[in-house]
Amino acid sequence: MIVRALVLLGIVLGAASVGCGGSSTDPRYPAREDGCPVKLYPGPPAIVVDELGTVQVPCAGGASCERQLEDAVCRRGGDVVWGTGDNALNAATMTAHAAHSRRVTKGPRERGCPIQIYENAAPMPTENIGPVTALCNEDDSREVCTRELADQACLLGADILWQVDGPTPESTQNGQKQRMHGRAAHTK
């Protein structure tokens, strides 16, 4: 009986974690960091979006609850939350739709694709795709590590890599490595 109760508890907790945002569900839109920018629409979105599913968070109302909902959308890879107006002001649980604005990218590109790299902000209008990271060998040159970072951006459909940082040393289970960070984007 105890084993049966533990199995049932595991199923309930697993279902709850899926309902609370979970991880990215669409490979085109990788999970984003909590606090990412999210466009909020009380009703249907006023822009064309790709649907990512429903998100739900427990709360007691207030602005922090809205941010928790936006963070759940970020974890799904979204940049749009819509349908928030359907929730009561004092709702104990907030539910909405996660979505991502339709991209101008044509999908993933091959490793080695041409990409413009900017240490700071790109000087032209772009559509941000999201953060990218590269983990390189300790003895790799900056150029090799930068190319790996660029390849990661290519795989997301980017043609611009900006706000490039690193490489910085990092200890891993497999020894000393270098990590670089950047932001992938596509020209508008």
Residue spans of the domains in the chain: they are: 22-101, 116-187
Give bridge partners of residue 81 from the DSSP assignment.
Answer: 40, 98
CATH architecture of 116-187: 2-Layer Sandwich (3.30)
Largest CA distance in the chain: 64
The predicted pLDDT at position 165 comes to 93
Average pLDDT on 41-57 reads 88
* 70 against 65, higher pLDDT: 70
- Length in residues, the chain: 188
Average pLDDT, the chain: 82
Is pLDDT above 50 for 34? yes
| Residue-level pLDDT at 174 | 81
Taking only Cα atoms into account, the Rg of the chain, rounded to an integer number of angstroms, comes to 20
When pLDDT is cut at 50, 70 and 90, the band that residue 110 belongs to is very high
pTM across the whole model: 0.49
CB of 122 within 8 A of CB of 160? yes
